[in-house]
């Protein structure tokens, strides 16, 4: 591929500041004299660090109750984009310094020095998707003492290939000197937050047809339509639904503004945690037991999450030998509500898609009475949609996970200046997911049967996966002083990591017996899938930190990996780092300047180098031909081109920054500027059929990221009874696809209804393309002279990009005596996303934009007719009354599809907490040392631009990597939460 030369650091510096709070804030400034344990047991002086990082105190995670440890940190860590999960047990997305590859952009999680698996069994995309969370959901926030976010290559270089996307260091609670018991109990209630803002002027029907209109008069009968393209509401009493036994329901023809919202329940979450800790001079231990159970806002318990966790951290000291054990167990159950388009061929529809298709004058809660014949599948009012209460009870996803992770650490001090650390760690997870869809058949000669509505054949799918990680390293640390001015800390070591696992799944469709959801309940050939994997890598590393006068530092690191996933000739790769820091002030005020250059490497997933044999599944004459068939099995070599020239991806980064504290730490500033180039990116290219192959994996691309991160911590007021703490973060990242090798200049990632999300050379990472309305040189729209609809371009055009302009977060905490009030706001500006929710709302006539011109015929503003000779005439062709519905149907009017790519800017009131700390004199005699009661709320307010009254901009059905930036396909709505919490210390 073309090689790119390193460019000079170039970033846009925005005059913003960031702040860290003294006691309860998001970030925490370390004691600069402290010696800290960094990667792989390497010891360094905190003041010598040459890179930006953010420390989060564990108490910050527990101000409100969160099942996910990262849920409350959005907007509070500069340089990190955190999107909270939408439902209980769902996946959080964490991206550090922007996307730099097509996949695997998630950071590495390290718990007490051992890497943590982060795998998921969720199904992503647009068709019948679900989110059962990822391995990080097993992490209990209540065991966490602190988190340290390492964002740059210099900070993560020693962590190897898994640290190329940033590292989150998690330290669990340790024992305290005195025996103590901490108890936290909370309860909260949730309601649905954002549902689409729809119009309430026109009701059930199509093409403006009234209930009296019959087939043959220009449309279809309105009483069985699933759209709101009928006449204006007039309050009259009208029949609706099917005629059953010569009877029909009646209702007033009025809009129901809260119909969708009333479908949802009040969700509840109960959480209880007990931590016992204690210790002495030579031993300490902490044991945490927690239980959290959350039932979301959907009716039934099909969106329920439960986790029981046990965490232990204990240490012993025998003169020169220290032993520490960190051990954690988690049992997790997740019931997920499917999203996306749904299907009739197996599992059935998705709930929220069916909700979006209900006319706005029909009560949804009236549909929950399944004893009413009018709500049954055969007699439901429309053949074009399904009763959402039937869907939620018949399309089920259940996941269960058991997880153990931990390590044993041995540290031996040979002398005061020389020590050795040996750590052995493991992470083992077993997960099962079962999904089933009920059979839906129609009574013969019933309205749905006569309308040839699609039934559901029913399906069952079961998958079981086991994932294991084993990690071991040995590190030698030495420090020496030369005279009174020079000091040298060195470290060297070696390690080994293995990841292995297996996934086995089976699926059958066309179930024989209703309400029996086992794989044996079908005569069809099961679809089987088995995946075993094994990945190993060995590494050696070294580090040297040279200090002068305790003010000037030079740090060098190097690491070499040998990986099993690359060809033998290129499976070894080395990446170094060099960093400098200078403490300019260190008296009443503090100022440190820092800079670094570093590289970080990354390999690929297992079994990408050589071809594999796959079981053959071909198209038969009357459908799919699945093997084994007739007692005969069949295998074929996969269609990929083998590539024995693969090499590792390599990220090179330059970072400069400064840290300052003034006025006895009442003002703190931390700023980082970075410029990174990721070269030899591994990606798959689709090949023409004429080559005889389907695809090839290679090192085909380069991406550059540059940006600025700022933090400001400020204490504007500090009085005897009152304090005000303010924390502010600012993040700006600019990404660009520098190069795609060969003749290709773009790679399509996801495509829906004419909108394609692409990876394009010379463009921002992640851009939207589609067919847009044609315009002439004067910018006037060219329309079809017969319909008045837009004419569209022959080639796809760029519509926008998903990358945000910036992210800002602000947290304020006001403390008066024993009462504190805190609230956090985050603002994510710019970027675009695709919204199928908006598209479907337009299609069925519920979207607010569909009442343009009161649904009277209209001429597209600023439009012309192409005369065919290079000239244009004014458009006089209106979109007719009968064609207005089709105008918003992009199958008929594809020029409107681009309007479904929306601005994902938002401002969110992320959390609010009001806490009261009981005075100690109140607690005397009852054995309680400290007690706090708090009220809190989460996701209380959300503002979005006018083109998005439909979805939460953080919603996605496409996973948590680059493709997630595509947007959403009928994503479930988010929740707003109100809760109360008690904390006691004995």
Tens-place pLDDT, residues 407-422: 999 999 999 999 999 9
- Element spanning 77, H or E: none
- Element spanning 962, H or E: none
Question: Residue ranges per domain, the chain?
Answer: 35-193+266-341+392-609+644-766+802-829+926-985
**Choice between 640 and 336, residue whose per-residue pLDDT is larger:** 336
**Of 727, 545, 649, 706, nearest in space to 152 by CA:** 706
pLDDT in the model for residue 210? 54
Taking only Cα atoms into account, the Rg of the chain, rounded to an integer number of angstroms, comes to: 30
30 pLDDT more than 50: no
Mean pLDDT of 231-235: 90
Q: What would the pLDDT profile of 770-818 be if each residue is shown by its tens digit?
A: 999 999 999 999 999 999 999 999 999 999 999 999 999 999 999 999 9
The two structure tokens encoding residue 316 = 């012993």
Tell me if residue 625 falls in helix, strand or coil. strand
486 pLDDT more than 80: yes
pLDDT in the model for residue 34? 59
Q: What would the pLDDT profile of 345-379 be if each residue is shown by its tens digit?
A: 789 899 999 999 999 999 999 999 999 999 999 99
Phi, psi of 902 (to 5 degrees): -115, 160
> 688 falls in which pLDDT band (50, 70, 90)?
confident
Whether residue 810 contacts residue 822, with contact meaning beta carbons closer than 8 Å, is answered with no
Phi, psi of 813 (to 5 degrees): -130, 125
Reported in sequence order, the residue ranges of 613-686 that DSSP labels E, i.e. its strands, are 613-615, 617-620, 623-626, 635-637, 640-641, 649-662, 667-686
Q: Which residues pair with 278 in a beta bridge?
A: 285
Q: What percent of the chain has pLDDT over 70?
A: 93
Whether residue 770 contacts residue 897, with contact meaning beta carbons closer than 8 Å, is answered with yes
Residue identified by tokens 């729209």 is 781
pLDDT in the model for residue 617? 65
**Choice between 619 and 694, residue whose per-residue pLDDT is larger:** 694
**Of 661, 938, 940, nearest in space to 18 by CA:** 661
Whether residue 129 contacts residue 340, with contact meaning beta carbons closer than 8 Å, is answered with yes
Q: What would the pLDDT profile of 517-556 be if each residue is shown by its tens digit?
A: 999 999 988 988 899 999 999 999 999 999 999 999 999 9
- Write the CB contacts of 251 (distance below 8 Å, at least 6 apart in sequence): 237, 238, 240, 361, 362, 363
- For residue 660, the tally of other CB atoms under 10 A from its CB is 16
pLDDT in the model for residue 23? 34
**Choice between 622 and 919, residue whose per-residue pLDDT is larger:** 919
> 99 falls in which pLDDT band (50, 70, 90)?
very high
Report the alpha-carbon distance of residue 126 to residue 119 in Å, rounded. Answer: 20
Instruction: State the first-to-last Cα distance of the chain, in angstroms, to the nearest integer.
Output: 64
> 844 falls in which pLDDT band (50, 70, 90)?
very high
Mean pLDDT of 472-493: 94
The two structure tokens encoding residue 785 = 């002279």
- Write the CB contacts of 718 (distance below 8 Å, at least 6 apart in sequence): 666, 724
Note the helical H segments in 866-953: 884-887, 920-923
Q: What would the pLDDT profile of 561-609 be if each residue is shown by its tens digit?
A: 999 999 999 999 999 999 999 999 998 899 999 999 999 988 988 888 8
> 860 falls in which pLDDT band (50, 70, 90)?
very high
Domain 35-193+266-341+392-609+644-766+802-829+926-985 is classified in which CATH homologous superfamily? TonB-dependent receptor, beta-barrel domain (2.40.170.20)
Upstream peptide bond of 555 is cis (omega within 30 degrees of 0): no
Tell me if residue 873 falls in helix, strand or coil. strand
Q: What would the pLDDT profile of 286-301 be if each residue is shown by its tens digit?
A: 999 999 999 999 999 9
The two structure tokens encoding residue 563 = 């990986």
Q: CA angle, 311 as apex, 305 and 315 as ends, to 5°? A: 170
Whether residue 731 contacts residue 80, with contact meaning beta carbons closer than 8 Å, is answered with yes
Secondary structure (H, E, C), 80-132: EEEECCCCCCCCCEEEECCCCCCCCCCCEEEECCEEECCCECCECCCCCEECC
> 206 falls in which pLDDT band (50, 70, 90)?
confident
Whether residue 92 contacts residue 109, with contact meaning beta carbons closer than 8 Å, is answered with no
Phi, psi of 758 (to 5 degrees): -130, 160
pLDDT in the model for residue 24? 36
How far, CA to CA in Å, does 406 sit from each of 471, 472, 642? 10, 12, 38
The two structure tokens encoding residue 582 = 């200078």
User: Of 188-197, 367-376, 451-460, where does mean pLDDT reach its minimum?
Assistant: 451-460
626 pLDDT more than 70: no
**Of 303, 286, 305, nearest in space to 65 by CA:** 305
Q: Provide the sign of the torsion angle of the four alpha carbons 913, 919, 920, 926, taken in this order.
A: negative
User: Of 316-325, 452-461, 871-880, 949-958, where does mean pLDDT reach its minimum?
Assistant: 452-461
Helices first, then strands: H and E counts in the chain: 9, 48
**Of 476, 434, 478, nearest in space to 459 by CA:** 434
Tell me if residue 157 falls in helix, strand or coil. helix
> 739 falls in which pLDDT band (50, 70, 90)?
very high
Q: For all residues of the chain together, what is the average pLDDT?
A: 89
pLDDT in the model for residue 12? 30
**Of 502, 518, 513, nearest in space to 464 by CA:** 502
**Of 850, 773, 763, 761, nearest in space to 802 by CA:** 763
Residue identified by tokens 């006025």 is 663
Report the alpha-carbon distance of residue 986 to residue 509 in Å, rounded. Answer: 57
pLDDT in the model for residue 52? 86
**Of 471, 228, 472, nearest in space to 361 by CA:** 228
149 pLDDT more than 60: yes
Mean pLDDT of 86-101: 89
Phi, psi of 480 (to 5 degrees): -140, 155
> 634 falls in which pLDDT band (50, 70, 90)?
confident
How far, CA to CA in Å, does 956 sit from each of 93, 617, 778, 942, 974? 10, 31, 37, 17, 11
């Amino acid at each position: 591929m073309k090689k790119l030369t390193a460019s000079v650091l170039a970033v846009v510096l925005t005059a913003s500041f960031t702040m860290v709070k003294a006691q309860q804030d998001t970030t925490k400034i370390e004691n600069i004299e402290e010696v800290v344990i960094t990667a792989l047991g390497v010891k360094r002086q905190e003041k010598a660090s040459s890179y930006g990082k953010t420390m989060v105190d564990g108490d910050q995670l527990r101000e409100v109750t969160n099942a996910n440890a990262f849920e409350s940190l959005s907007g509070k860590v500069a340089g990190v984009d955190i999107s909270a999960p939408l439902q209980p047990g769902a996946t959080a997305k964490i991206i550090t310094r922007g996307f730099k590859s097509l996949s695997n952009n998630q950071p590495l999680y390290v718990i007490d020095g051992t890497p943590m698996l982060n795998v998921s069994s969720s199904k992503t995309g647009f068709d019948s998707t679900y989110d059962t969370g990822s391995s990080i959901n097993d992490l209990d926030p209540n065991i966490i003492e602190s988190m340290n976010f390492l964002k740059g290559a210099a900070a993560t270089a020693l962590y190897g290939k898994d640290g190329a996307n940033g590292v989150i260091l998690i330290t669990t609670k340790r024992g305290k000197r005195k025996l103590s018991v901490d108890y936290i109990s909370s309860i909260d209630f949730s309601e649905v937050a954002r549902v689409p803002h729809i119009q309430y002027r026109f009701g059930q029907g199509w093409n403006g047809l009234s209930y009296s209109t019959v087939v043959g008069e220009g449309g279809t009968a309105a009483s069985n339509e699933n759209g709101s393209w009928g006449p204006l509401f007039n309050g009259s009493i009208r029949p609706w639904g099917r005629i059953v036994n010569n009877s029909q329901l009646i209702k007033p023809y009025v809009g129901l503004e809260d119909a969708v919202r009333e479908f949802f329940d009040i969700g509840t979450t109960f959480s209880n945690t007990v931590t016992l800790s204690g210790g002495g001079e030579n031993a300490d231990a902490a044991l945490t037991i927690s239980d959290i159970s959350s039932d979301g806002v959907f009716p039934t318990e099909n969106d329920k999450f439960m986790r029981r966790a046990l965490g232990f951290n204990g240490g012993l000291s025998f003169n020169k030998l220290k032993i520490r054990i960190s051990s954690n167990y988690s049992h997790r159950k997740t019931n997920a509500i499917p999203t996306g388009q749904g299907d009739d061929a197996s599992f059935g529809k998705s709930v929220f898609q069916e909700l979006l298709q209900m006319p706005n004058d029909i009560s949804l809660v009236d549909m929950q009475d399944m004893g009413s014949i009018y709500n049954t599948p055969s007699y439901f009012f429309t053949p074009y949609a399904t009763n959402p209460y039937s869907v939620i009870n018949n399309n089920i996803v259940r996941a269960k996970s058991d997880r153990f992770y931990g390590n044993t650490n041995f540290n031996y001090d040979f002398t005061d200046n020389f020590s050795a650390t040996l750590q052995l760690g493991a992470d083992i997870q077993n997960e099962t997911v079962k999904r089933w869809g009920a059979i839906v058949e129609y009574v013969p000669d019933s309205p749905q049967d006569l309308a040839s509505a699609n039934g559901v054949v029913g399906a069952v799918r079961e998958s079981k996966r086991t994932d294991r990680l084993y990690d071991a390293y040995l590190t030698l640390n030495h420090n020496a002083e030369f005279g009174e001015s020079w000091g040298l800390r060195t470290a060297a070591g070696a390690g080994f990591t293995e990841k292995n696992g297996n996934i086995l799944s089976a699926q059958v469709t066309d179930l024989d017996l209703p309400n029996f959801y086992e794989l044996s309940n079908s005569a069809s050939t099961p679809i089987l899938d088995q995946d075993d994997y094994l990945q190993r890598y060995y590494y050696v590393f070294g580090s040297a930190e040279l200090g002068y006068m305790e003010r000037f530092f030079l740090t060098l690191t190097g690491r070499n990996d040998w990986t099993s996933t690359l060809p033998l000739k290129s499976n070894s790769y080395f990446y170094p780092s060099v960093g400098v820091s200078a403490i300019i002030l260190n008296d009443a005020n503090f100022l440190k300047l820092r800079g670094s250059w570093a590289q970080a490497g990354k390999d690929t997933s297992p079994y990408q180098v050589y071809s594999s044999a796959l079981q053959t599944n071909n198209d038969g004459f009357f459908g799919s031909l699945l093997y084994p068939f007739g007692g005969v099995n069949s295998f074929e070599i996969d269609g990929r081109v083998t590539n024995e020239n693969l090499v590792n991806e390599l990220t090179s980064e330059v970072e400069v920054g400064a840290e300052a504290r003034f006025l006895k730490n009442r003002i703190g500033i931390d700023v980082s500027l970075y410029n990174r180039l990721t070269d030899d990116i591994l990606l798959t290219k689709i090949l023409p059929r004429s080559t005889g192959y389907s695809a090839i994996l290679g090192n085909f691309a380069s991406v550059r990221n540059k940006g600025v991160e700022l933090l400001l911590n400020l204490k504007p007021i500090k009085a005897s009874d009152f304090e005000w703490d303010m924390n502010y973060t600012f993040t700006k990242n600019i990404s660009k696809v520098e190069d795609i090798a060969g003749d290709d200049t773009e790679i399509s990632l996801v495509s829906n209804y004419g909108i394609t999300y692409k990876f394009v050379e010379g463009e921002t990472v992640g851009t939207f393309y589609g067919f847009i309305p044609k315009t002439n040189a004067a910018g006037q729209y060219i329309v079809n002279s017969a319909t008045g609809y837009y004419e569209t371009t022959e080639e796809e055009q760029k519509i926008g990009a998903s990358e945000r302009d910036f992210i800002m977060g602000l947290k304020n905490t006001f403390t008066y005596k024993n009462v504190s009030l805190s609230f956090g706001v985050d603002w994510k500006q710019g970027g675009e996303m695709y919204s199928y929710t908006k598209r479907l709302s337009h299609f069925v006539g519920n979207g607010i934009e569909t009442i343009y011109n009161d649904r009277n015929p209209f001429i597209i503003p600023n439009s012309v007719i192409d005369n065919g000779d290079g000239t244009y005439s004014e458009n006089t062709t209106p979109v007719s009354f009968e064609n207005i519905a089709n105008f918003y149907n992009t199958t008929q009017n594809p020029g409107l599809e681009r309007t479904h790519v929306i601005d994902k800017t938002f401002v969110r009131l992320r959390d609010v907490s009001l806490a009261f700390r009981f005075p100690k004199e109140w607690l005397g005699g009852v054995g309680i040392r400290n007690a706090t009661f708090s009220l809190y709320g989460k996701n209380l307010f959300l503002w979005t631009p006018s083109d998005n009254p439909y979805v939460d901009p953080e919603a996605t059905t496409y996973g948590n990597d680059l493709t997630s930036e595509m947007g959403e396909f009928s994503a479930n709505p988010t929740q707003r939460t109100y809760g109360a919490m008690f904390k006691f210390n004995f």
